A and B are shown apart, each in its own frame.
Chain A
Amino acid sequence: MPAAGSPSDDAILVVDDIVVRYETAEGPITAVDDVSFKVRPGEFLSVIGPSGCGKSTLFNVIGGLLSHHQGVVSVAGETISGPHQSIGMVFQEESTFPWRTVIDNVAFPLELVGMARAKRAERAHYFIALVGLAGFENRYPGELSGGMRQRVSLARTLASEPKILLMDEPFAALDEQTRLLLGDKVLQIQQQLKQTTLLITHNITEAVQMSDRILVMTYRPGKTKRIVDIDLPRPRTSEVVSSVAFGRYVAEIWSDLREEASRGMQDEESYVLHHDGTAS
């Protein structure tokens, strides 16, 4: 079997044999076990799995925020061992800087590279318009809705012009309608910028709506269960959710996930019973 990332292929991101173990009071736990995949330039790949399958751990490994792992992550052939400018991260939690206006938030990465004030304002305006927030430049995050704040975070990450956009359940805290509409926005941006994107999610609809491929993970330890190609037409919008093919993909992935999610739920229940002291 060839290595997940041979230099001859055209993958921009190669995740190869990632294993993450944690020491806990109950003994060592393997959170991620032997996960390998590649992402091609311009591709939208989603990683989906039940709660506790190690999705966020994988996000931190790829983003370089977690160092105690085995295996290799490489971007455009370069092995990375920490946060890397080629990977832009959007977090699940609200992560705008409340003390900065929208434009100052978005200009943050440009400020770090020492871009001149006028130039960075111009670039920030471009990315703010791209996420549909033109007119809100001088507002503070506290004056915006949750969905708007996530768009500010997205614009800030895009402003650093990463080769790979890495998102960890960015719409998890939002309602379903906002989530679908923001999915549209992300799709539009991804297609416009031809942005390579890796989305970590537990939401099947969101994954099918946006992805070219979906990697399904098992419940703990998180392994690759299978990779599903999503052959839905592009450009895509949220209207795709009403198509027969979309429903078929959702059902197919759910049948994969159902068993894993059930295992996770049983595991949680037995943990609670065991630690509650109420087990018979």
Chain B
Amino acid sequence: MTAAAPAKLSNLGNFTARVVGIGALVLFLLVAEILIQTGAISRFIVPPPSEIIGSFYRIITQEHVFSRFLLTAGECLTAGVMITVFGIAGGVLMHRFKLLQQACETWVAAMASAPVVLMYPLFMVIFGRNVWTIIMMGFVAALPPVILKTIEGIAGTRKVLVNVGRSFNLSPAQQFWKILFPAALPTIFVGVRLGLIFALINIVGVEFLINYGGLGQLIEDLAERYDLGGTYAAICFVILVSVLFFMALEKAERWLRPVD
């Protein structure tokens, strides 16, 4: 068997997995369509998939969904960059200064599970009814997992790798950039992924609550008008934001660390 044969088999496996994945989604939509059309599920609660698909053209042409999509994606991107920069820096500092870690880690962990979204009135007072309230809500809610996972990743670096660095007489900065950081990257990325989920939930939630632009406001608006097809179609765009960010993150991780 030539070396190309396993690669062909692997490509075939990937293709089959994609076909099965898309097939499962199509099957799910078909089953939902049948259940709703036959009245097993009330169409006044969940619209049939055909109606949702039919609503796409309408929300694109009449509801300016692309500009709203760009606004929400931009808010997510800003919050994502902020949680990455400040979360990793915070985690590194807390790992470096044990007193800081002992003093704050419990608070950070508690904040990770707190319903930060309820603090939106306070953020509106601080930042006003504008895009920064939304971004900062996403940022504050998403920061804890990045900090905690950064600490975990650095602390979990195998001692022998640290000793290799010491044996080569690395400075503390070299030890961090050449060993601790790359060793911790997979765990840090878990934190950033979690952070992005938290950020997206909070950003869309606050857009919804304060009725200020973006997909969240569109969902709120369409739901108020009882346009169920449009509401679900707008939710699909929120899912699209999530998918795009996860794909970008995966690319970034593979670029920074090609193998685990």
Contact = CB atoms under 8 A, between A and B. Distances in A.
A63 interface: yes
Contacts of A71: none
A95 B164 contact: yes
B163 interface: yes
B93 interface: no
B40 to A, nearest CB: 50
Contact of A112 (B174, B257, B260): B174
Contact of B260 (A63, A64, A142): A142
Interface stretch (B165-173, B219-227, B242-250): B165-173
A116 to B, nearest CB: 18
Interface string A62-97: 011100000000000000001111011101011101
Interface residues of B, number: 20
A244 B100 CA distance: 64
Contacts of B185: 99
A59 to B, nearest CB: 10
B160 interface: yes
B182 interface: yes
B160 A94 contact: yes
A27 B217 CA distance: 68
Among B169, B170, B179, B258, max chain A CB count under 10 A is at B169
A87 to B, nearest CB: 8
Among A83, A88, A140, max chain B CB count under 10 A is at A83
Contact of A83 (B168, B258, B259, B260): B168
B168 A160 contact: yes
A161 to B, nearest CB: 12
B252 interface: no
A89 B167 contact: yes
Nearest to B169: A83
B163 A65 contact: yes
B164 to A, nearest CB: 5
B168 A108 contact: yes
A63 B164 CA distance: 11
A95 B258 contact: no
A183 B212 CA distance: 70
A55 to B, nearest CB: 16
B109 interface: no
B169 A140 contact: no
B158 interface: yes
Among A63, A97, A99, max chain B CB count under 10 A is at A99
B160 A99 contact: no
Contacts of B161: 95, 97
A95 B168 contact: no
A109 to B, nearest CB: 6
A95 to B, nearest CB: 5
Across the A-B interface, the 10 shortest Cβ-Cβ residue pairs: A89-B167, A93-B160, A140-B259, A99-B182, A95-B160, A99-B257, A83-B169, A95-B164, A91-B160, A83-B167
Interface of B: 158, 160-161, 163-164, 166-170, 174, 178-179, 182-183, 185, 257-260
Given A88-B167, A93-B160, A109-B168, 8 more contacts: A83-B166, A89-B163, A91-B164, A95-B160, A95-B164, A97-B161, A97-B182, A97-B183
